[in-house]
Structure 1
């Protein structure tokens, strides 16, 4: 009978861990304004992927497509923004600057969408 609290505690720990690492789909403006800087702006806020000079980059960054081959707005030479969805793991934190809700820690897939889809979404801020 004494094992019951341990089993319950273990089960709750496993459940909490599964929630932390759950995949989620985030859609909005995928921004790459300058080399080494990537973030996603969705209806909840900004999610950092990479910052120039930082050694942190999400697992699966190689899954990011070449957005310039699709519906893409150039704002700085080769750089700019696109509309899309990223299936990812995230980490909420205030440690990434005042304008960021958190960080994307792993990228599983990315789907580029027409710019008009993000422009028509009133929950999204205007891209920079």
Structure 2
């Protein structure tokens, strides 16, 4: 038979584990649709800047989100470093909200540059 003290301790441990699981699941959100500037200034480096801030998509030699990046036509891409640069896009993603990191891209669509240029919630190019 388990004593009352041990039962209380077991309940506390169970509640702590449940709380930890909820924090972890809350940190990984998605899928959510985020629209903004998709920036790819150099090989392997990319992020999405939307109305909520900057989301890391990939870092050269480090984190790389699973899934495909958006494909841009020449008319929807601003070159700033050879063929690297930025464009306007919507991504359906799963993110680690605490780390501001994109974990997986489920869908990615290039948009006209004018869509991001008109959006007052986005930073200027």
**TM-score over 0.5 for the alignment?**
yes
List structure 1 runs of 4+ shifted beyond 6 angstroms.
none
Give 1:27 deviation, angstroms.
Answer: 0.3
Counting only pairs closer than 5 Å after superposition, residues 23-42 of structure 1 correspond to structure 2 as: 23-42=31-50
Q: How many angstroms does 1:52 deviate by?
A: 1.4
Shift of 1:57: 1.0
CA RMSD of aligned residues (A): 2.8
Query: Residues of 2 paired with 1:59 and 1:29: CA distance?
Result: 19
Larger Rg: 2
Q: Classify the secondary structure of the residue corresponding to 2:124.
A: coil
For residues 8-62 of structure 1, the C-alpha deviation after alignment (integer angstroms, 9 at most, x for no partner) is: x97xx68x838844300010000001111100000110000011121x21121xx
Question: Larger strand proportion, structure 1 or 2?
Answer: 2
Change (3 A) 1:59 1:67: same
Gaps of at least 5 residues in structure 1 are 95-101
Number of residue pairs the alignment of both structures matches: 113
* d(CA) in 2 for partners of 1:19, 1:35: 28
Match of 2:4 in 1: none
Q: Flag the 1:74–1:25 CA change in 2: closer, same or farther, 3 A.
A: same
> Structure 2 residue aligned with 1:113, among 100, 111, 114?
111
